[in-house]
Amino acid sequence: MIPMDMKAVYRYIDQHSQDFIHDLSELVKQPSVSAKGEGLHECAEKVEYMLQETGFSTRQLPEVDGNPVVYGELKSKHSKKTLLFYDHYDVQPPEPLDEWRFDAFSGKIHDGRVYGRGASDNKGNIVSRIKATEAFLKIIGDVPVNVKFIVEGEEEIGSPHLKSVLEQHKKLFSNDATIWEFGGTNYEGRPEIYLGLKGVLSVELRAKGASRDAHSANAPLIPNPAWRLIWALNTMKNNDDRILIPGFYESVQQLTKEELQLLKELPLEERKIKKTFGLKEFLHGRTGIEAKRELLFSPTCTINGFLTGYTGPRSKTVLPNEAMVKLDFRLVSNQKPDNIFKKLVKHLKEKGFSDIRTIQYGSTEPTKTPATDPFVEVVATAAEKVYMKTAVVYPTSAGSGPMHLFRNMLECPVVSAGCSHADAKGHAPNENITIDGFIKGTKFMATIMNDLA
């Protein structure tokens, strides 16, 4: 039975849903592409203003050579418990632009959805959580727990400066529990919550040949940097997707019995996922528990992009003078990005590729909150109250982010949950969030706040 005060909070959220959606649309209209350095300070100002308007005390915490972190705090008059929301206002680049139904930063409201880069990842969750707080303030003049927000502007490029901010302001960010930045519902409308993240190591390899491009007739005499990268890549991974870097798997931990049980219970909507991506089958014909285990608990090495030579229409008989490939390694407990990078550099050198320049970009460590932590039950129960369906609890996620900083440095339980949905198209053209999902997600956040108290 929903307590009377929560009914009133839910009613307020329903009655003001159009205003909430309008504010989300306005935030989506503000470009904030960290990869290109577009609109980040302006977006940070908008987020800070939204927090201030709700009643939060705020400040911007500047990152040296980075983008500002927006901090907000609202104290409860009755509770000593603190819930922290981690979010990010930066978004992925919108390209390819010609595949968008509406302008990528239009914030277009159409057919029950809000479209635009960041609508789902992560501006929808920012606004949803702020509005959940607003509902309590308007109905009871207080919040059930102390509420803190940390909203950064570099998550989409690996959060390279966030660690230093947390180290400087560790006491400021202290909390009893943290809600992470993503989550939503699956194709069946069941809420999904995540207890961890894979780590990630982003790397760029560069090969150099002649001082300038040459005619391809000179191929017998002039080295081709594109082939150098291809040969180097072939030493890193075999046809079975086994990563061949010596020592790569030596720190990988075994699943706990609780994680194995959650894995068995997880639904994997194979048919719908394959249809979404136009696939007849998953890689290596994986299915069932094997597919789930590989997705969540196996490290990977992925080519993100390869650039060299001429790629325009028809042909150009050119021998390129340089080539570049971008990779990411998704890491699992207890792999460390810096350690894996050192192993990669050593591997390439020992295979005769010391001429290839190896650059390390943003990285994060894998981390997990134990499935037995009481906060997991708080979030799962709150989800069931709002969605009237049992939550799908993922022991970890295939994605990555700086969650380890909060789990390890702040020593708090971290659970990821939000208001997105299975067809949100995050990181792709036509990113969107459903209005119904956004409103339910707002009620979900409010319920977590109430139940944590």
Q: What is the pLDDT of residues 173-231, one digit of tens each?
A: 999 999 999 999 999 999 999 999 999 999 999 999 999 999 999 999 999 999 999 99
Q: Are residues 82 and 177 in the same domain?
A: yes
| Res. 2 pLDDT band, cuts 50 70 90 | low
Q: Are residues 375 and 413 in the same domain?
A: yes
Element (H, E) at 274: helix 270-277
pLDDT digits (tens, 9 = 90+) for 111-165: 999 999 999 999 999 999 999 999 999 999 999 999 999 999 999 988 889 999 9
Distance CA 105, CA 32 (A): 10
Q: Are residues 358 and 371 in the same domain?
A: no
Last residue of a domain, one of 331, 363, 395: 363
Mean pLDDT of the chain: 95
Q: Are residues 207 and 176 in the same domain?
A: no
Task: Give yes or no for residue 4 having a pLDDT over 70.
Answer: no
Q: Determine the Cα angle at 240 with ends 238 and 243, to 5°.
A: 50
Is 259 domain-assigned?
A: no
| Gyration radius (Cα) of the chain, Å | 23
User: What's the confidence (pLDDT) of residue 301?
Assistant: 97
Burial of 203 (0-12, 13-18, 19+ CB in 10 A): buried
Last residue of a domain, one of 347, 363, 379: 363
User: What's the confidence (pLDDT) of residue 136?
Assistant: 97
Please state, as a whole number, how many other Cβ atoms lie within 10 Å of the Cβ of residue 412.
20
Is 291 domain-assigned?
A: no
C-beta contacts of 67-70 below 8 A and 24+ residues apart: 67/34, 67/40, 67/41, 67/152, 67/153, 67/154, 67/161, 68/40, 68/41, 68/44, 68/153, 69/150, 69/151, 69/152, 69/153, 69/162, 69/165, 70/44, 70/149, 70/150, 70/151, 70/152
Q: Are residues 309 and 238 in the same domain?
A: yes
Backbone angles phi, psi at 215, to 5 degrees: -65, 140
Question: Among residues 439, 437, 452, 447, which one has the least CA distance to residue 384?
Answer: 447
Q: What is the CATH number of the domain that holds 221?
A: 3.30.70.360
Residue with tokens 């998953």: 282
User: What's the confidence (pLDDT) of residue 82?
Assistant: 98
Task: Give yes or no for residue 40 having a pLDDT over 60.
Answer: yes
pLDDT digits (tens, 9 = 90+) for 10-33: 999 999 999 999 999 999 999 999
pLDDT digits (tens, 9 = 90+) for 276-318: 899 999 999 999 999 999 999 999 999 999 999 999 999 999 9
> Domain span at residue 247?
200-252+299-363
Task: Give yes or no for residue 61 having a pLDDT over 70.
Answer: yes
State the total domains in the chain.
2
Mean pLDDT along residues 368-397: 96
Contact 386, 440 (CB under 8 A): yes
Top pLDDT among 2 and 132 is at 132
Task: Give yes or no for residue 42 having a pLDDT over 80.
Answer: yes
Last residue of a domain, one of 340, 363, 386: 363
Mean pLDDT along residues 72-78: 96
Q: Determine the Cα angle at 22 with ends 276 and 104, to 5°.
A: 45
Q: Are residues 245 and 383 in the same domain?
A: no
Task: Give yes or no for residue 81 having a pLDDT over 80.
Answer: yes
Q: Are residues 9 and 149 in the same domain?
A: yes
Q: Are residues 86 and 145 in the same domain?
A: yes
Is 157 domain-assigned?
A: yes
Is 264 domain-assigned?
A: no
Q: Are residues 434 and 304 in the same domain?
A: no
Mean pLDDT along residues 368-388: 97
Q: What is the CATH number of the domain that holds 128?
A: 3.40.630.10
User: If phi over 0 gives left and psi between -120 and 50 gives alpha, with beta otherwise, what is residue 158?
Assistant: left
Q: Are residues 36 and 146 in the same domain?
A: yes
| Res. 3 pLDDT band, cuts 50 70 90 | low
Is 288 domain-assigned?
A: no
Q: What is the pTM of this model?
A: 0.88
Is 130 domain-assigned?
A: yes
Is 265 domain-assigned?
A: no
Least confident among 64-68, 305-309, 447-451 = 64-68
Q: Are residues 350 and 333 in the same domain?
A: yes
